[in-house]
A = this chain, B = another copy of it.
């Protein structure tokens, strides 16, 4: 299991997202996450952001070290001032190696992607996943995790990741990715549950998913807050409310500011879409494989 945070809105300092909040991703959740069975996320980290004044590609900095002690991340967080930021702390699933290429976020062209959870039966279906990929999606994969393979399955439905990708195209690609995964699982009679909390962005549109195939448990936690502006005064970080359409949105595995009431849960098995105009909408996510009988015991979440 991992933890992640995604921000979209007026440019903010990464420091205010990752370090300053009371229960921030780096200072608290990387070492002692609150809503996970395994509370340590020390198997590498990554941060990605956009600098639209320069170009449309994300800039990604990843490491195999724990986030909590990394001086480079601490330094960078004070200089990354961006309108869209992804950050992720990893707890590697058993059997998956800790390498820089296996740290999130993954990226290709304008797109960034991260995952919290585990794809059930990955070892049995990973070869078949690779076979389904077109060359662009295949070449985008550098590592060996279920998370990055999911990114490949998503990219498979993007016409040209190196060109302009619209929000709608991303939504469709995400839905198709779920269909493809479902199909693979049924074909291969996978009986292990999946936990698929996902986030993907092109820098202007943000899609997140909270999902599990397991009817007996809740998906891994996923929260959001929105408003006019997110900022910190000293150690106190808040989302300023707005009566109109929000202009700033944070999605996070766990609430990290002191005012818990600012945070709303993303519903079970839902996709949350923040489009280019900052309009928020939701769609249900389901996989046909859910209707299949799974084994009673869910695997450990990685």
Contacts and interface: CB of A to CB of B under 8 A. Distances in A.
A137 to B, nearest CB: 11
A interface secondary structure, majority: mixed
A169 to B, nearest CB: 24
A13 B81 CA distance: 16
A232 interface: no
A76 B59 contact: yes
A10 interface: no
B65 A98 contact: yes
As for how many copies of this chain the complex holds, the number is: 4
A138 B31 CA distance: 31
Contacts of A40: 31-32, 40, 42
A66 B45 CA distance: 13
Interface residues of A, number: 44
B69 A54 contact: no
A234 to B, nearest CB: 16
Given A98-B65, A99-B99, A59 B32 contact: no
Interface in A40-69: 40, 42-43, 49, 51, 53-55, 57, 59-66, 68-69
